[in-house]
Each structure stands twice: as structure tokens, then as C-alpha cells.
Amino acid sequence: MKISFAATVPEQAETLVLPVAKGAVAAVSVPAASDQDNGTLRAAAAASRFEGEAGGVFETFLAGSAGSVRRIVLAGVGQASADDLEKAGAALAAKYQSAGIAVLTVALGALAIAPSADAVARFASALVLRNWRQDAYRTKLPEKQKRSLVEAVLAGAPEGSEAAWARSEAIAKGVRFTRELVTEPANILYPESFVARCEALREHGVQIDVLGRAEMEAAGMGALLGVAQGSVREPKLLVMRWDGSGGTQPTPLVFVGKGVTFDTGGISLKPPAGMEDMKWDMGGAGAVAGTMLALAARKAKAHVVGVCGLVENMPDGNAQRPGDVVTSMSGQTIEVINTDAEGRLVLCDAITWVQRKFAPTVIVDLATLTGAMIISLGNEYGGLFSNDDGLADQLLSSGKASGDPLWRFPLGDAYNKLIDSPIADMKNVGPREGGSITAAQFIQRFVDEGVKWAHLDIAGMVWASKPGAVWDKGATGYGVRLLNQLVADHFEG
């Protein structure tokens, strides 16, 4: 969707959106409309109980020239804050995405108090993100259901809005890229094709490196390779590096994403019902890739490395068995109790590799790791685990500011002991209780001394069964706005 800016409302605008603050319906006025038409409009809006609340929408039509009609839309913007304008933009996109309208003209100058440039950027971003939809495989979509909305013209936006949107547009591009990756079916998106999709990041200045099976075998990544050995798809370790610091940050901030492009559970096979959802078990890797795109597209003044461990977990005759013992790249041994607890096996080798390669001081990993996290938090928050209170606080504040919220969970020796194994250094699952915590404890065992680390369990956040703030049902793009905010607030020079 294209966002354009205009000084005034174009005369040919067929669909005119008037932002209305809460309680300001009585002041609504359509330019060039008669007093009678404006009076009828205000009365009709009041009769429909439209009060200008954020996200509220009222629609009517006024007679135009030569027998034409003009669609007039009142969009509630509440107090015209950034949050309220985001709700308004999302509501407009949801209502008019398939309404046969190509262009929305929004008269921002109609507001008595001009919103900030950042609030306008949030409004535009919500329009773009809520209008996103994956229709590539729908060949018989009825005409009335096809997406028609392709542009929004923002008229009378305050000074600085275009520059603010340019920054937000890069973030929206990253979110959309993540959604595309998460939405693709597993016969289309697998480790090799995931890497191919990310090759496009080179155009933005991102350095791409890829390790295949041979390189990972040479490195001793027995945990990651153990997960992949049941699939005909070769695993990949994708490394994306963006350095916009001008050399002032020799040590990069590191993001690591779990990229299980399809998860059957392996020999510990999942139940058939709902297994199709496991195409999005690469949501952590998708978020890392989208974040790297967003940072590069907006030329972030930071040095960041994104690593994605990409595998497919399948149950063939060569698959890993429950009871197998594997040796991780760190040298630590792992008794595999459950082959469906595979994400932590992928992450541990990816984390070890990136520590040996770049010696980072801060690592954040993201993973759709445990069903237990969905039981704990539902689909409202991502789970946060960290060995550093300062990093945890930064992530919590970034989550709140960006709209990708987090909730912190504990770590401790009592939980750590639950994954001790009688025949190896550790086992890959603990008891049923505290499943998300013991999973985090497992990953922590591979974090070097002195490294600030956070683990984000986003199992309940990457896919939505109902529309949300700036997404429809399906892939949400969770994590991109969060990580971008973290970089912008705490890691840019």
C-alpha cells in the first residue's frame, strides 16, 4: 500500500476521510458542502452513536456533480495521540480493504489540534500493516473479496510527517517481510528457500553468509544437526550482518532466531489436528530476518548480527530418536528425551557459533519454543527470560513502546536442576511443570560467562486466530517492531 502526502485535499477525492476527535462530532464540516448537508451529516453520526472514539468509523454519502456521489468517512481518533491514531488507521484499512475503493484521502488538516509527526507515522503504518494480506494462492477469490485499497493520501499533515513516515515505512517493510515468511507453506519455505528470500537484503547493504551441513558438521553442531537428520531438506545457518555504526561499534548486538520451517515433532510425533500450523514454527527466525531488513532500510546507526538456525523436523528412518545423546558445538552433551523439544537444540548451537565468531556482549534469542508459554500468557504477551535485569528492563520498555509486549518470567537453580540427566550433561526437557522456564534454563547453559542474554518465547504471538491491533487473522509479524525499538532506544550511536 502506498502512502502519499498532499498539502490540501485533492478536488477529485471520491472518498474523503475526516478525522474526528472524541466529543468533536458537532464541529464536523465537509469542505464545499452545504450547511444542510453538514447538519445532516452531524445528526446522522450522532444517531449512529459515533462519538469520535479511537477506531470508530461512520460512513455516509453526499451528492456530487453530474449525479455522482461522494463517500464521506468520519474516523474517530480519540485524543489524537499516537496510540489513538494507530487504532484509527487500522480500523480504516480493515473496513475499506475490500470495499472497491482504491484510494482513501485523509484530511488530517481537519483536526482542530494537529497531531505530532510521529503520530501521523503511526497512523500511516497502521494503514499499511492492517491492509496486508496474503492472497497469492487464492485463485478463485470472489471480486467483492479481492483487496482493492492501494493508496492513502494524507492531506494537511503537520511538518515532519513525511520524514517520520520514511522511518516507519522501513519498519513496516520489515514486518511485512516477516509475515510473508511466516505465512508461506512448508513446501514453499524451507531452509534453502528461506535463505534465498533473505538474499534480497543484500540490496540494502546487509552482508549475508550461509553455513550448510558440511560446515556445521565441521563446527561440531551435533544438536542442530540431530534435529535436521530426519529431513531431506538440508539445514542452513543464515548469518545477516548490518553495520551502520561507521566502525564505532566493533562488537555487534546479536539476535538469534529459531527457524524450524516445519515441525512434525519428529519421532515424538505431534497429533494430526492442527499440525498444519507448524509452518510458523520459524517465527523467531522470521522476526530476526524482518528486523535486519527494517534496520538496514532505515539505515540504523548500529552494528547488529542476526543468526537464523534453519531446519525441518521430520520423522523418517534416519530421524533422531528419544533417548539419543548428541554433542553440541559447546562440547556439552544432551540426552534427547523428546524430539519435539527441538527448538532449543537448534538455538544452543546457533548461540555457541555466534559467540565464537563475534564475541558479543549482548544476545537476544527469539523462538516459538513452548506450548506452555501459550498456556501461561495466551496470545497477549511474549515471554521474557534474562540473566540481566538491565537488558530485561530495556526489552520490557521497548515492547510497551512498540506494541509488541513482553512479560518477564523467573530463572533459578531450582528450575535448572530439573534438566539434569543421569547419563549426559543435560536432557532437553524437564517435567511438565514450568515447561517454558526449564526450556529457557536449557538455553542459558550455552550462554558464555559475562554475556547479557535474553530469551523471548513468542509461541503465542506470531500467529493470530482473530484480528488484532494492526493485523488480520494469520501472521502478525511480532518481534520486528520490538527489536527495532530496542536498537533505536538503546544501541544506536
Catalytic center residues: 270, 344
Query: In terms of Cα–Cα distance, which of 76, 75, 286 is closest to 191?
Result: 286
Report the DSSP beta bridge partners of residue 237.
211, 309
**Residue 288 CB: number of other CB atoms within 10 A?**
32
Angle, CA 283 vertex, CA 281 and CA 288 arms, to 5°: 140
Contacts of residue 411, Cβ cutoff 8 Å, sequence gap at least 6: 385, 386, 387, 437, 440, 441, 444
Contacts of residue 410, Cβ cutoff 8 Å, sequence gap at least 6: 437
Distance CA(418)–CA(434), nearest Å, equals 10
Q: 294: left (phi > 0), else alpha (psi -120 to 50), else beta? A: alpha
Angle, CA 386 vertex, CA 362 and CA 242 arms, to 5°: 30
- Burial, 61: exposed, middle or buried (Cβ in 10 Å; 0-12, 13-18, 19+)? exposed
Phi, psi of 239 (to 5 degrees): -120, 120
Query: In terms of Cα–Cα distance, which of 293, 291, 308 is closest to 256?
Result: 308
CA count, 13 A, side-chain hemisphere, 493 = 16
Phi, psi of 291 (to 5 degrees): -65, -45
Contacts of residue 14, Cβ cutoff 8 Å, sequence gap at least 6: 70, 71, 101, 103
Phi, psi of 25 (to 5 degrees): -60, -35
Contact predicate 443/351, CB 8 Å: yes
Most distant pair of Cα atoms in the chain: their distance: 85
